[in-house]
Chains A and B, each alone.
Chain A
Amino acid sequence: MAVPRSRILELMKTSCSIFNTTFNPQRLRLGNKILRQRLRGPAVAAYYPPRIGTTKDLRQAYQGKGVFGGWEVRDEDEDYRLEKIRVAKMRGKGAPKKKRSAAESKRLTKRRPGGNK
Chain B
Amino acid sequence: MHVTSTLRSHCAPFRAKKLDIGCFVNKWVIRDHTKRKVFAENEVDRQALRYVIRNTSLPPRMRAQAQLQLTQMHCYTRPTQIKNRCTMGGKGKGVFSDFRMARYQFRLNALAGNIPGVKKASW
**Complex: how many Å from CA A51 to CA B22?**
4
Interface residue A115 (Cβ < 8 Å from any Cβ of B): no
Interface residue B65 (Cβ < 8 Å from any Cβ of A): no
Enumerate chain A residues within 8 angstroms of B20, measured Cβ to Cβ: 50-51
Main secondary structure of the interface of A (DSSP, over half): loop
Interface residue B91 (Cβ < 8 Å from any Cβ of A): no
B55/A31 in contact, CB under 8 A: yes
Question: What bracket does the count of chain B residues touching chain A fall in?
Answer: 20 to 34
Q: Count CB-based A-B contacts (< 8 Å).
A: 69
Which single member of B39, B56, B87, B100 contacts A44 (CB below 8 Å)? Answer: B39
Interface residue B7 (Cβ < 8 Å from any Cβ of A): no
B51/A31 in contact, CB under 8 A: yes
- Could you list 14 examples of A-B contacts with CB < 8 Å? A30-B54, A31-B55, A34-B54, A35-B47, A40-B43, A41-B43, A44-B79, A45-B36, A47-B33, A47-B84, A48-B22, A48-B29, A49-B21, A49-B23
The interface of chain B, by Cβ under 8 A from chain A, is 19-23, 29, 32-33, 36-37, 39-41, 43-44, 47, 50-57, 79, 82, 84, 87, 100
The interface of chain A, by Cβ under 8 A from chain B, is 28-31, 33-35, 37, 39-42, 44-45, 47-53
